[in-house]
Chains A and B, each alone.
Chain A
Amino acid sequence: MGPLIPNGLIPIEWNFVIALLIGLAFGYIMEASGFSSSRKIIGVFYGYDFAVIKLFFTTAIVSAIGLYYMDYLGWVDISQLYVHPTYLWPAIVGGVFMGLGFMFGGYCPGTSLCAIGIGKIDALAFAVGIMIGVFIFSESFGLLEPFFNGSNYGHITMMDTFGISPYWIILIFTVIAVIVFYFSDFIRKRVKKVFY
């Protein structure tokens, strides 16, 4: 049956309408759960709030498990889902830069826009910083291009790389997630509480 739009169950014209609705819901939930505060992301590095890590692990395992059950039930065809191409070294370097940006600025690009929505000045500065960064990157793209397009491994997944069943990866990942949840709470209990 699914994915709904590529299989024509929903006309492709609805793409942007649905994107808008999901975007609104996403922004609302992000604001409502406190991600518009820069302390939420900084908290991971200082050890007083691990909501971000928990959020990402929960998203990953819930969607992975859910998708495979839905694939079994025939609601979603896993093979039709988009797999982002792997650019190994650019991804690592980009990840390091993004992490530094998180630490210095306290926002993810998404949460910064969310925080601008509720009128935070620091988020505005962060967003301007993003624009400057994008500008510098675009202007120096000629220099960076060999690196940027190098080490492209295509649309690979962990099951291709390790040659093991996706079920094992999901189970191992779930166990890792639960262990991480436990230890993050363990650390949080030992760190001085920050109220914000």
Chain B
Amino acid sequence: MSKRYKSKKILVKTEYKFLAILMILMAAGLFFLPEKIDNEGTNPEEFVLNTLKSDRYISTDQLAKRIIDQDPTLLLIDTRSEEEYNAFTLPNAINVPLEKLLEEDYVSYIDQDSYDVVLFSNDNYHADQAWKIGNRKGFKSVYVLKGGLNEWFNTIISPKYPAENMPETAFKLYDFRKAAGMYFGVGAPKSDTKKATPKKVITVKKKKKRVAEGGC
């Protein structure tokens, strides 16, 4: 205890005055904090690099082959609206409308590591948007069907016959597409085409962040 403090002239020590002012300033400083930005997920630089990578796309031929091979790791997600989904879609696809992507019932289809998720829409515009949201959130193994259902129709359902001067691979590809088209029911009578049933996917709902329990 200093002599100054002992004498009754000084009520509060300078250090304490300083601490009191510091505390009030710190409390007032909270008002000047800029609004909090949620930076969770992939950081912007990485995100831009990811969008520039072409391996986020899967071509219609690759997809057709995987469906025909009955690849069990494939999970098709239709990002179009429900009416469009009910009208027509790819076999075993699940409907997750873009605007409902992050809702609790739907997000667990995309936010998981056990399947290769392939997003598609009429072209690849909406599917791309869904992919971007997913990538920003840090979801893994999500792909986009290049060209979407339009491209699917142009290549698999009604492929163009290659011109005569084209290489042999083009003809092979045409044969593959023609065969794949048959697999998907081109030329079959209408009664034979089965309605696409959504694939049964058991999703693991991510645990919600627990709130700390207990107290004094």
Binding site for B on A (CB under 8 A): 3, 5-7, 61-62, 65, 68-69, 71-72, 74, 77, 80-82, 84, 167, 170-171, 173-175, 177-178, 181-182, 185-186, 189
Please give the distance in Å from A46's CB to the nearest CB on chain B: 20
Quick one: closest B residue to A74, CB to CB? B39
A81–B26 alpha-carbon span in the complex (Å): 21
Chain B residues within an 8 Å CB radius of A189 = 8, 11
Quick one: closest B residue to A64, CB to CB? B27
B212 interfacial by beta-carbon distance below 8 Å: yes
B16 interfacial by beta-carbon distance below 8 Å: yes
1/0 per position for B38-50, CB-CB distance to A under 8 A? 0100000000000
B12 interfacial by beta-carbon distance below 8 Å: yes
Interchain CB contact (< 8 A) of B23 among A74, A77, A174: A174
Chain A residues within an 8 Å CB radius of B214 = 82
Nearest 5 CB-CB pairs, A to B?
A: A174-B27, A167-B30, A178-B20, A6-B210, A171-B27
Chain A residues within an 8 Å CB radius of B30 = 65, 68-69, 167, 170-171
Given A61-B23, A65-B26, A68-B30, residue A82 in contact with residue B11 (CB < 8 A): no
Interchain CB contact (< 8 A) of A5 among B23, B27, B212, B216: B212
Name the prevailing secondary structure of the A interface residues: helix
Chain B residues within an 8 Å CB radius of A177 = 23
Count of A-B contacts with CB under 8 A? 66
Chain B residues within an 8 Å CB radius of A84 = 215-216
CB pair A174–B211 under 8 Å, yes or no, is no
B28 interfacial by beta-carbon distance below 8 Å: yes
Please give the distance in Å from B18's CB to the nearest CB on chain A: 12
B31 interfacial by beta-carbon distance below 8 Å: yes
A185–B213 alpha-carbon span in the complex (Å): 37
Binding site for A on B (CB under 8 A): 8, 11-12, 16, 20, 23-24, 26-28, 30-31, 33, 36, 39, 209-216
CB pair B211–A178 under 8 Å, yes or no, is no
Please give the distance in Å from A168's CB to the nearest CB on chain B: 8
CB pair A167–B31 under 8 Å, yes or no, is yes
Given A7-B209, A171-B28, A182-B12, residue A65 in contact with residue B215 (CB < 8 A): no
Chain A residues within an 8 Å CB radius of B31 = 167, 171
Interchain CB contact (< 8 A) of B33 among A5, A72, A186: A72
A175–B36 alpha-carbon span in the complex (Å): 26
A7–B30 alpha-carbon span in the complex (Å): 25
Chain B residues within an 8 Å CB radius of A6 = 209-212
A167–B213 alpha-carbon span in the complex (Å): 24
Interchain CB contact (< 8 A) of A80 among B27, B33, B212: B212
CB pair B11–A181 under 8 Å, yes or no, is no
A7–B209 alpha-carbon span in the complex (Å): 7
Chain B residues within an 8 Å CB radius of A71 = 36
CB pair A170–B20 under 8 Å, yes or no, is no
